[in-house]
Chain A
Amino acid sequence: MINNSKQTAYGDAFKVNWWIRAGWVLVVCYILYAANYLDVSFARFIAGLGNGADFLAEMVPVNFSRWQLLVSNLLETVEIAVIASAFGIFFSLPIGLLAARNLMPSWLTWPARLFIVLCRSFHPVIFAILFVKAVGFGPLAGILTLIFASIGFVGKLFAEAIEEISLKPVEALQASGAPFISVILYAVLPQVQNRFIGFSSYQFDANLRNSTMVGIVGAGGIGGTLFAAFQRFDYDFLAAILLSIIALVMVSEFISLRIKGVFQ
């Protein structure tokens, strides 16, 4: 007869892990501490909800009357994303190759990796601010911003993909005396081609999202109109802009899904 279930041969199936419980308590303590530090209080939150309701109420009859402006801005946004993706992906090919530690000597990989880290570590908005200063307001600043963002993302993942390839085809080609460029073209690229296309289509999506935002600091696209609508309390037009951005992103997600299907 077993009268205590805890003394079975198997032990307790669901043992209490006190370390994990202590961890959860720590998380709760941190939330309270940080909320206090940031002056985030429930009273302020409730007060904000009232504002939020007013805000939504002003948005409600969504104003599409300036649709021409909206369409031309959306087109500019898409153009920025297309051009930036094309150049960004194009430049990230050689930079990713240079950063792959299994193919290149370290005096080449270090500068390439440093460049990629620099491109990645700053949010696109910061690049956009600097480029607006350097090349003035307009879509060119946005394009340059997103080119750097693309190099940071695609270059890093591409370098990692190359580092994971099988080196056997590379050795085979080198043993048969193929020049370096042929080794890259026939032994390295075929192994990473599909992943590269995957990263590229993902980056195109990301560029489209970010190109809706760079306009806030003056770098072209729909962001400038959005920011202006905000500052003029033009909330019904703002709602129209937000809805069209969401629609644009959904369409692009659908297209990139189809493209991934083609290259599977």
Chain B
Amino acid sequence: MSSQTVHKWQRFSFKEQMARFAVFFGFAVALSVSISTVEVIPEFLYDAHIQAADLLTRMWPMDLAYYPKGIHAAMVETLHIASLGTLLAIGMAIPVGIMGANNIVRIPLLNWLAKLILVSSRSVNSLVWALLFVAIFGPGALAGTVCIGFRSVGFVGKLFAEALEESDPGPIEALTAAGAPWPSIFLKGYWPQVAPSFWGIFLFRWDINVRESAVIGLVGAGGIGMVLDTALNLFYWDRVSVILLSIFAVVVVAEILVTNIRKRII
């Protein structure tokens, strides 16, 4: 029996092990190179705790009386920018998402074009979009709304296209066989299947947009960010803390709202 080969059990093949090792090794090399070359000025670090303590003492006590005077209107504007921007994104994402779903539009060139639109929208940060639209439309809520819309198209469109690609072809074949025109196939075949995930995507993106619309004002695109920018530039740190607290409160309320609605509809 000694001639029988001994089985050696291992979880991964040699190639898989090497691939895993390569990922970790590559990341370790990138990390060590980054740490050794990044230009951190250590002198700035010595008084960091003093600066941070200074910041906190200037933020306290909060100037709560400023909320009704200067913050509330900007906060409402922020929420409107987020909602209107999300609706604009949906208006743009539905055609682009349909164009990107390769089971509906069977032209690879159009699928590829839709993917390019969606990736460009997602790769450019919301602040950069905001800068672009402030240059185009001038400072204000219009730039912010269009910025939120363009920024969100990539996210909403990608998930919408994926939901369309995963839909069951059965009802669509039935409708096609019955001779239904294209709009009917979409409204009665695809839409009922993707509607729950569609509303889920909408709510999820609205939640993200509430956070984003709070900061795009820093570059002039309207909302609470503009108030924050003014307070920062004038060193009104007691107002800054009230603004941060109100952003925090709105974001938490939005998240609780979205979580509860999602539980009901999905």
CB A149 to nearest CB in B, in angstroms, measures 11
Chain B residue with Cβ nearest A233: B135
A44 touches B45 (CB 8 A): no
CA distance A35 to B23 in the complex (A): 49
Given A51-B137, A134-B51, A136-B44, A262 and B215 touching (CB < 8 A)?
no
Q: Is A107 an interface residue (CB 8 A)?
A: no
Query: CB within 8 A of A38: which of B34, B55, B145?
Result: B145
CB B223 to nearest CB in A, in angstroms, measures 9
Query: CB within 8 A of A209: which of B38, B123, B138, B247?
Result: B123
B125 touches A78 (CB 8 A): no
CB B239 to nearest CB in A, in angstroms, measures 14
CB A14 to nearest CB in B, in angstroms, measures 6
A134 touches B48 (CB 8 A): yes
Q: Is A246 an interface residue (CB 8 A)?
A: yes
On B, residues with C-beta under 8 Å from A are 16, 19-20, 22-23, 27, 30-31, 33-35, 37-41, 44-45, 48, 51-52, 55, 77, 80-81, 83-84, 87, 119-120, 122-128, 131-132, 135-138, 140-142, 145, 188, 211-212, 214-215, 218-219, 222, 228, 232, 244, 247-248, 251-252, 255
A123 touches B211 (CB 8 A): yes
Given A38-B145, A123-B215, A210-B125, A79 and B40 touching (CB < 8 A)?
no
B232 touches A123 (CB 8 A): no
B44 touches A125 (CB 8 A): no
Chain A residue with Cβ nearest B48: A135
Query: CB within 8 A of A250: which of B20, B52, B119, B251?
Result: B119
Chain A residue with Cβ nearest B127: A213
B135 touches A230 (CB 8 A): yes
Q: Is A122 an interface residue (CB 8 A)?
A: yes
Within 8 A of B (CB), among A239-259: 242, 245-246, 249-250, 253, 259
A48 touches B251 (CB 8 A): no
B138 touches A48 (CB 8 A): yes
- Secondary structure call for the B interface: helix
On A, residues with C-beta under 8 Å from B are 14, 27, 30-31, 34-35, 37-40, 44-45, 48, 51-52, 55, 75-76, 78-80, 82-83, 86, 117-118, 121-123, 125-126, 129-130, 133-136, 138-140, 143, 209-210, 212-213, 216-217, 223, 226-227, 230, 242, 245-246, 249-250, 253, 259, 262-263
Query: CB within 8 A of B127: which of A80, A122, A140, A216?
Result: A216
Query: CB within 8 A of A226: which of B87, B128, B135, B142?
Result: B128
Chain B residue with Cβ nearest A78: B34
